[in-house]
Amino acid sequence: MLTAALNRADEEARRLRQEFVGTEHLLLGILAEGSGQAVRVLQSAVDLADLRQQLIKRLPQGAKEPMVTGRLPLSPKAQGIINVAMSASSAVGEPNVSTRRVLLAAIEDPMSTTAKLLAECGADLEALAQKLSQPQSQTE
């Protein structure tokens, strides 16, 4: 579920002493949440432990704990990915935004760090997008 993945993304960003949640943190949150179609599709394409390790390597560790109380703000890019996922869910009448919609939006953004990293880890982005575009097999 997206709410759980967003909470996990926030936790990951805080653990790395970041002041915001970026697209990389969204992917870390999806991986940490650990269930749903997004994770199942990713498992079929890449080694999840390697993907997580590559993500963490790319994120600099901040010098101090974030000063933000409550949820960390989303970066403009992460907010854009969430907005695209919300619009896509709304367009097909899905009442909730799923992690698969968020992952699909990130993959379909050609400037997305997520898409670049998945490709570097050996994922076929077109095949991933096709699998993520298919109707959900289970509720997330």
Query: In this structure, is residue 23 part of a structural domain?
Result: yes
Query: In this structure, is residue 17 part of a structural domain?
Result: yes
Query: In this structure, is residue 140 part of a structural domain?
Result: no
Instruction: Determine the structural domain holding residue 74 and report its residue range.
Output: 2-133
Confidence of residue 134 (pLDDT cuts 50, 70, 90): confident
Predicted confidence (pLDDT) per residue in 79-127, tens digit: 999 999 999 999 988 888 899 999 999 999 878 888 899 999 999 999 9
Query: In this structure, is residue 138 part of a structural domain?
Result: no
User: DSSP letter at 88?
Assistant: H
Query: In this structure, is residue 139 part of a structural domain?
Result: no
User: DSSP letter at 48?
Assistant: H
* Proportion of the chain in helix, strand, coil states, percent, rounded to 5: 60, 0, 35
Please tell me the total count of domains within the chain.
1
Counting Cβ atoms within 10 Å, is residue 73 exposed (0-12), middle (13-18) or buried (19+)?
A: middle
Predicted confidence (pLDDT) per residue in 14-31, tens digit: 999 899 999 999 999 999
Query: In this structure, is residue 99 part of a structural domain?
Result: yes
* Percentage above 70 pLDDT, the chain: 95
Query: In this structure, is residue 126 part of a structural domain?
Result: yes
CATH of the domain at 9: 1.10.1780.10
Confidence of residue 37 (pLDDT cuts 50, 70, 90): confident
- Averaged confidence pLDDT in the chain: 88
pLDDT of residue 138: 43
pTM for this model (two decimals):
0.89
Query: In this structure, is residue 40 part of a structural domain?
Result: yes
